[in-house]
Amino acid sequence: MATVNIRDTGRNSAKTADVRDLADRVNLTNPDEEVTTTNEVKVTTATIAVTDDTNTIVTIAQPAGTILTNLILYSAGNIVTAGSSGNDLDISIGTASAGAQLLAATALLDDGGAAVTLVANVPLYIIENSHGKAANQFATTGVGPKGGPATTEAIVIAGALFSAAARNIFVTLRPIGADLATAATTVTYIAQFQEL
């Protein structure tokens, strides 16, 4: 059983910091169960490239002995495709720069002949609970968040999200088919890792 010391405040109650520390270190449902640790990394791009076939890449450090559980993406401004079929914004995830070892190039904004928009400050769980997503999962008319892109290709995990050794993960955004119509903005990624 985990032991946690609570400082006596003289008011017959624990300090908020003590309660938070206890919640972080003890499974309150089963105190004998080992508690896992979650690490979070937040990275923001420079202004993303709007030019066709130009990469915007970020590097995320994955700690040793962890699995990537969630990868969340949101933009500071609207991102809009050009409006002709094939004018997509692709995302890929690799263990090498511009690589696709974890996720092959996939249309995050899948332009089938009408411009597709990702609205500013709308979080998209690219990876959620170590799983990918079905096609069009982010559509507002489906289960997606308000402002998610109407059309997206299926996000299919291609490689192991767990790594025994520390490694870098590279996330790439790449407009294809034409320049983006609107995208003078940055994109932020939040990566959450769980120790196994």
Other beta carbons within 10 angstroms of residue 154's beta carbon come to: 13
The DSSP bridge partners found for residue 125 are: 72
Distances in Å between the alpha carbon of 33 and those of 25, 29, 122, 123, 129? 10, 9, 36, 32, 21
**8 A C-beta contact, residue 82 and residue 178:** yes
pLDDT in tens, 6-17: 444 455 555 666
Q: Give residue 119's identity as a one-letter amino acid code.
A: V
Among 92, 101, 97, which Cα is nearest to 155's? Answer: 92
Distances in Å between the alpha carbon of 25 and those of 5, 28, 70, 100? 12, 9, 21, 36
User: What string of pLDDT tens digits covers the 196 residues of the chain?
Assistant: 444 444 444 555 556 665 555 455 555 556 666 556 789 999 999 999 999 999 999 999 999 999 999 999 999 999 999 999 999 999 999 999 999 999 999 999 999 999 999 999 999 999 999 999 999 999 877 677 888 999 999 999 999 999 999 999 999 999 999 999 987 899 999 999 999 9
Note the pLDDT of residue 142.
62
